[in-house]
Structures are given as structure tokens and as C-alpha cells.
Amino acid sequence: MPRAILCVLDSFGIGGAADAEAFGDAGADTLGHIAARCAAGEGDKDGLRSGPLNVPNMDRLGLGAAGRLSTGKDVPGLDFDGEPEGLWGYAAEVSNGKDTPSGHWEIAGVPVRFDWGYFPETIPTFPEELIAKISEKAGLNGILGDKHASGTVIIAELGEEHIRTGKPIFYTSADSVIQIAAHEEHYGLEKLYELCEIAREFADPYNIGRVIARPFVGETSDTFQRTANRRDYSVLPPEPTLLDRLTEAGRTVYGVGKISDIFAHQGVARVLKGAGNDQLFDKTLEAMDQAADGDLIFANFIDFDSLYGHRRDVPGYAAALEHFDRRLPEMIARMKDGDLLILTADHGCDPTWRGTDHTREHVPVIATGPGLEGRSVGGRKTYADIGESIADHLGIAVGPNGTSFL
């Protein structure tokens, strides 16, 4: 029973998805391609990192073995050759989308079998009627953007015009999102949040998963920077999730990072925020000091995705993995008898892939705990097996959409 610690390394896919082709992602492999580039000397960056991917702690638990099982290929640099010390394997996604809410909800036992609404790759991308309604209620004198874009590119392109005109920047991606970028001071953070709440209300009929506030600072195109005050406005999951079921059973769910936002603030009793993976790691350790037996700590490490995956930054992604791996022993040392730690991901975002969007991939399933014997959990047919294994571990009923691998 004691506790479960579930860490989502956001976008850390390990390739091999049988349905990748349908997403234009056949062959995408976030771990495998990062490792291959690093092994070929193409993951070096002065002052940041160099050489083959060096993640010995995750490898010893079974990451390399999981990558091999997922794709049939060795992962360069992950050459631990004994019996892995953790439970190891991979999980395939059954949800229709390769987005963050779909991935997290499926992990929590609720696959998304309906289709989200998406916006077309046209300019404008948003329906005129939708923008008109949002503009009227929020008192806007127009919007900028109105297209598919990368969030860092579009603020460089339109940030100065935004400051000059006061018009917020609206954009989307291959995900079911309306993203709104605005300057924290010139436009105002609270005003941006209010605008997003209005947009959320009008986005509902279009079946849009999330409206995301993307505040930034800086004065010129080359100095604009997004801040940690991003806020996601998600719709509610379609069925009770593992988080709701635990709450119902009187347990406390700790949400570290954006977990609470992803679940529309439902089923998360304690919210711990942090700017960047390092702080998020500290907050996870803090939650481990607080959590009682039967509780769940659910942490999302966002930098892998937003700073490196979407930015197609191989050295950055590799360095972030290496940093996480170096700190992993701290987390393991905090575990007490009966605790279960699972490392996984919500989708891929292969930094060697075309475009800047997520990639459809298997995710790693790596688990450890005091006294837990290493073994393969095989290829799981759904991410839901992760959440249902946690349900099993914490002694609540296993839900209908997954099977425990414990």
C-alpha cells in the first residue's frame, strides 16, 4: 500500500507505435533518435553536454530494455547489460489524439475515444464567429496571428505589434488548443487570464481540449521570453479518473506542475507548482515528505516537451534527460517501504522530426520500489495499465479500461 509516485516525463516517447503512420509519425522515436544523434556526436553543445546519451540510472531500471522491446532496435549509449533492476516495458496509446490531456487521462484510466475539435492549417485558422464572440465579450479591438504556429516563433514575429496595438496573439497547433500569447506587463497577466476564461467558454461548442494562456516578457523581438505563468484551461475528463477514484476513497492526490490544470482541477487536493524541471523535481521530493500511506503524487516534467521537444533541440533534450537521471537517486532514496515509483510519458515529441508537433509513440513504463524485483511488464496495450497498476498498488478497485501489471 504505502504511496505511489507517478512521474510523467512530458513527451518522452520510445518509438514503435503501430498506429504512428495514421498520425504521419511512422518511425518517430524520441528516445531512440536523441540517443542515435548523441552517439554520432551530433548531440554536443558547448558548455551543456557532449558524447553518447548518459542516463545510467534509468537504464539500470530498464529504459534501454524498454526501448529495445518497443522498437526492436538497441538504444545507442544505453548499454546496461544485466537484468534490469526495475519493472520495465512500454505502453501504447489507445486515445484518438497524441496530446497532453489524452495521454494523461489515459494514464489515469480514462482513454479519450472521442475526437477533439481541431483547427485547419489555413490563415485565418479560427472560425470568424468564434473570434467575434470572444472579441465582443472581452472588448478586443482585433487579434493577431490566427494561424498554426510555434509559440516562441510567433511571439518573435508578432510580439512588438502586440505591444503597439494591444491586440492579443491567437494561435494553435496539431493539438486541440487555442493558445493566447500576451505581454505580462503591457497587456497584463490577469487580463490575459480573463481573456482565456472567456475563450474557454466559447471554445466548448467546438470541442476544444484546452485554451492556454501564454504570457511573455521582454521588449523586442529578440528578447521576448515566455514565463512560468502559463495557465491551461482544460475541459473535464469524460469519466471519473484514477484521481477522482482515489479522492472518493479518502486519499490525497498531490499534483506537481501542470497536473491539476490537465485534469481541470478535479481530483487534485494539493497543488505544487514549480518553474522548470529542477524545481518540479524539488516539489516532488517535498510531496514525498508530506504524503501519507495510500496517497498519490502525480508529477509532470514539462521542460522535455515545451523547451526541447517542440523546439526540436536535441542537445537540450539530452541534457534535460541526463539531469533528470542524475537526480533520480534522490527520489529513490526518499522512498519508504511499500512505495512504488513509476516513470512514464504522455506522448512523443521527437526533436529530430519534421515540424514542431508531438509524435505518436509508445511510452516507457519503468517502475521501482524498495524490495521490488526487476522483471519485464511487456508491451501494454494501453497507457491505462499504468493508472490501474497504481490503483492495485494503493488498494482501490481496478477500473474497467486497464489491467494491473503488478
Supply the minimum distance, in Å, between the C-beta of residue 139 and Mn ion.
Answer: 31
Q: Does 244 bind Mn ion (CB under 5 A)?
A: no
Choosing among ligand R1P, Mn ion, none, which partner's interface includes residue 10 (Cβ < 5 to 8 Å by kind)?
Answer: Mn ion
Give the three-state DSSP class for 13.
coil
- What is the DSSP secondary-structure string of 94-161? -SS--SHHHHHHHHTT----SPPP---SSSS-S-HHHHHHHHHHHT-S--EEEEE--HHHHHHHHHHH
Q: Binding-site residues for Mn(2+), please?
A: 10, 305, 310, 346-347, 358
Nearer to ligand R1P, 173 or 368 (CB): 173
Choosing among Mn ion, ligand R1P, none, which partner's interface includes residue 284 (Cβ < 5 to 8 Å by kind)?
Answer: none
Choosing among ligand R1P, Mn ion, none, which partner's interface includes residue 346 (Cβ < 5 to 8 Å by kind)?
Answer: Mn ion
How many whole angstroms separate alpha carbon 33 and alpha carbon 20?
A: 15
Query: Pick from 70, 125, 179, 389: which binds ligand R1P (CB under 6 A)?
Result: 179
Answer for the pair 211, 180: CB distance below 8 angstroms, yes or no: yes
Choosing among ligand R1P, Mn ion, none, which partner's interface includes residue 176 (Cβ < 5 to 8 Å by kind)?
Answer: none
CA atoms within 13 A on the CB side of 64: 21
Sign of CA pseudo-dihedral 38, 40, 45, 46? positive
Helical spans, DSSP H, in 361-403: 384-394
Q: Does 177 bind ligand R1P (CB under 6 A)?
A: yes
Supply the minimum distance, in Å, between the C-beta of residue 37 and ligand R1P.
Answer: 21
Answer for the pair 127, 172: CB distance below 8 angstroms, yes or no: no
Query: Pick from 93, 261, 305, 388: which binds Mn ion (CB under 5 A)?
Result: 305
Q: Binding-site residues, please?
A: 10, 305, 310, 346-347, 358
How many whole angstroms separate alpha carbon 373 and alpha carbon 364?
A: 18
Supply the minimum distance, in Å, between the C-beta of residue 213 and ligand R1P.
Answer: 11
Of the candidates 93, 39, 52, 91, the one whose C-alpha atom is nearest the C-alpha of residue 69 is 91
Binding site for ligand R1P (CB under 6 A): 100, 150-151, 173, 175, 177, 179, 212, 306, 310, 356
Binding site for Mn ion (CB under 5 A): 10, 100, 305, 346
